[in-house]
Structure 1
Amino acid sequence: MMLKPVRLALFLLSLLLNLAAARADILIGAAAPLSGPNAALGEQLRRGVQKAVDDINATGGIRGEKLAVDFADDGCDPRKAIDVATGFVSAGVKAVIGHYCSGASIPASKVYQKAGILQISPASTNPKFTDEGGWNVVRLVPRDDAQAGAAAALVVDRFPGRKVAILSDQSPGFTALAARFAMALQQKGVTPALQQAFKAGTKDFAPLARQVAESGAGVVYLAGSYVEGGLIAQALRAAGSQAQIISGDSLVTEDYGNQAKAAAEGTLSSFTFDARKFPSAQGLVQRFRDADQNPEGFTLYAYAAVQALAAAAEATGTLDSTRLAEWLRGGNRFDTVVGPLSFDARGDLTAPAIAWFKWVDGRYVEVDARTLAPPLLDTTP
């Protein structure tokens, strides 16, 4: 009989401890394409976010509270992204890291804005994300207009006189990137010889490659995923076109090389600088490599997105999204694995930087935009 009160007390104590632990967790959401043709890119975001959460928790969390993360697959689909966002709101997340694709980030941002939730994207580049977004959006990458402008300048400076073909996936993000590039070209006095859209999931690009070859294009600007990008590169070479392939950041992944194989050689892609080379990232890069993982592409920027959330929470002493967004968009500078960052009043980087990568001997390396040559001593991990 005497054991019953003891057991009850222990049960109640356990329950209270579990409730306290549940309350101590700061739940955040992370959304990316974890399946489908963009799954490899979504995995970069997932991997970076999870590592950042683990590392922050290992050092005591945010103001003594541990982070918990709920991952969701939006498939880069606008309608699915809204469903994911609605689910995050119902789950009570304090902030969202993501989405990856602009076509998912933009509609989801409206759901988060209404619910009062901060959204930090490490990958969405469409200008509309911040130009037409609410108070709650921040991004860690250069906008499409910056990448498109840099690409147009590269074409005019490095490939003068060549005809240009523009090929784009029909998705909103890639359509917008292609349109920005076309506009930037025309501002420099160059009219594209061919502008053609294609449907994601297409397998046979021989007809499109013939169109490019017949147009006489010496440069192809490709706004699409690494999956279709690889198939298009192969089709172009099979059609006899030796046009220089130029793209945005979607082809800066080993998966493009795996898909395009030898046809990837020479492809030029714009992206922000390879954070794996930054002194601030060396310890983390080594830990990824020790786990047999390559923190390429957006991995370290996803990690930095969680650091941005933590920096804002520590600085403001709150997890109120309105105050977090105000602090982040107030130009405050803070350190991350990708170096010091700060954002302007729209949520864009105050100092965006564009780098160029070139596929050489089966891998992509950072190159000098003036010469398009790799450095004499390549330190790409």
Structure 2
Amino acid sequence: MINLRGIAAFLALLGAAAESHAAGVTIGVVAPQNGPLALLGAQIAAGAGFEIQQSGNTLVAINETCEDNSGAAVADALVNAKVQVAVGFLCSETLEGALPKLKDANIPAITVSVRSRILMEDALKNGWPLFRAAPADGAEAAKVIEVILKDWAADPIALIEDGTIHGRELTEAVRNALEQNGLKPVFTDTYRPGQEQQIALVRRLKRAGATRVFIGGDRNDVAVIARDAKAENIQLSILGGDAMRAADQPLPLDAGVRAVALPEYAILPEGTAAADALRAKGIEPEGYVLPSLAAALIAGQAGQAAAAAGKPLQEALLDATFQTPVGTIAFTGAHELSQNPYRLLEWRGNGFFPPAAPTQ
């Protein structure tokens, strides 16, 4: 696995090459290089830097502090380096200050992290060149709702959550959508999280007649509920959210539990080749590595297309569909991903994978 020192050396080599010979599309990579977010920044730098090097483009690495009022300086650095497009942007604080100046310089910004709907609304209203290569707020709930309406509509459904803001809001969004579609859960509850056992809860689910349960809670709570339902011989189909992407401890999750979550792209068909190439360079394709690689690939291809057609790079981003290691990506007119990146996944003991197609 590449470490932070390795990332710094890697970027230094690329930067030195860029200074001596700028080639292809000049792409800014904006990510934290130190401080508490340096590990995430290293993932962004590793993925984007690998793709930029492979494609023969030019990398300009810009440190992102994620502090309030830091964005203008980031934008100035990008403009002074004559970048054509920038990727990364872990924090909304950076974009809030950078986008007005990036608009004046015609430099699109592709974020792999920021989910704020308000920021995108402001960007569209002001003509700021922001593109989101990450899920927007509400995308997780939308996918959960889609899955439940498609697969569970004819079954007795329970909705339970752990009382946290995210768990409550996610479960409430699902409940509202069910009611709008004429469906009423047979059981709803807020459970106490972090308990060693949930036998009373699973018995109440049985008494209510629930056979399908959506849980707005963390992975360990879901594991406890699944274990106790199995011990009580209560047949429950369990679905969780993106919080299920966590360490499989202290209690292992039962195989067959499902989650609506962002996939581990490295184990999916579209991501394996890039993952293998990264590992050959000592880079583990975790976290933001493959999404950032995809963002840099999109930036490079859009830059080339814009130059060939003699049109603004922002138009090229909107006009094309890109085949990337995280799947097919296209942007809507609102600069959002055209397809929801959340997927229905199933735990198989060593990872979340797409469920097998039902047998006929």
- Which TM-score tier does this pair reach, normalised by the shorter chain? 0.5 to 0.7
1:188 lines up with 2:181 in the alignment: yes
Q: 1:166 aligns with which of 161, 166, 186?
A: 161
Residues 333 and 152 from structure 1, CA distance in 2 versus in 1: closer, same or farther, beyond 3 angstroms? closer
1:112 lines up with 2:113 in the alignment: no
Amino acid at match of 1:47: Q
Percent identical pairs in the alignment equals 17
- Residues 223-242 of structure 1: pairs in structure 2 closer than 5 A: 229-234=218-223, 236=225
Residues 361 and 49 from structure 1, CA distance in 2 versus in 1: closer, same or farther, beyond 3 angstroms? same
Deviations 1:308-360 (A, max 9, x none): 22223223349xxx9433432x3323443345432111112234465321111
TM-score, with length taken from structure 1: 0.63
| Aligned-residue offset at 1:146 | 4.8
Which whole-Å CA distance do the structure 2 matches of 1:32 and 1:210 have between them? 47
Q: 2:295 aligns with which of 305, 308, 333?
A: 305
Residue aligning to 1:30: 31
Once superposed, what is the RMSD of the aligned Cα atoms? Answer: 4.5
Structure 1 residue runs without a partner (length 5+): 1-17, 75-79, 199-203, 224-228, 374-381
Q: 1:53 aligns with which of 49, 60, 71?
A: 49
Residue aligning to 1:21: 19
Q: 2:61 aligns with which of 45, 50, 69?
A: 69
Q: Secondary structure at the match of 1:258?
A: coil
Amino acid at match of 1:221: I
TM-score, with length taken from structure 2: 0.66
- Residues 1-381 of structure 1: pairs in structure 2 closer than 5 A: 21=19, 27-30=28-31, 35=36, 43=40, 46-47=42-43, 49-61=45-57, 66-72=58-64, 74=66, 80=67, 82=68, 85-86=71-72, 88-89=74-75, 91-92=77-78, 94=83, 96-99=86-89, 104-105=91-92, 108-116=94-102, 118-125=108-115, 127-128=117-118, 130-131=120-121, 133-134=123-124, 135-143=128-136, 145-156=138-149, 157-158=151-152, 160-167=155-162, 169-170=164-165, 177-191=170-184, 193-194=187-188, 205-206=194-195, 216=205, 219-222=213-216, 229-234=218-223, 236=225, 244-252=237-245, 256-259=246-249, 261-263=251-253, 265-271=255-261, 275-276=265-266, 281-291=271-281, 294-296=284-286, 298-317=288-307, 323-328=312-317, 330-352=318-340, 354-368=342-356, 371=358
- Partners of 1:270 and 1:355 within 8 A in 2: yes
Which whole-Å CA distance do the structure 2 matches of 1:52 and 1:261 have between them? 35
Structure 2 residue runs without a partner (length 5+): 1-15
Which whole-Å CA distance do the structure 1 matches of 2:214 and 2:238 have between them? 5
Q: Secondary structure at the match of 2:31?
A: strand
Q: Number of residues paired by the alignment?
A: 315
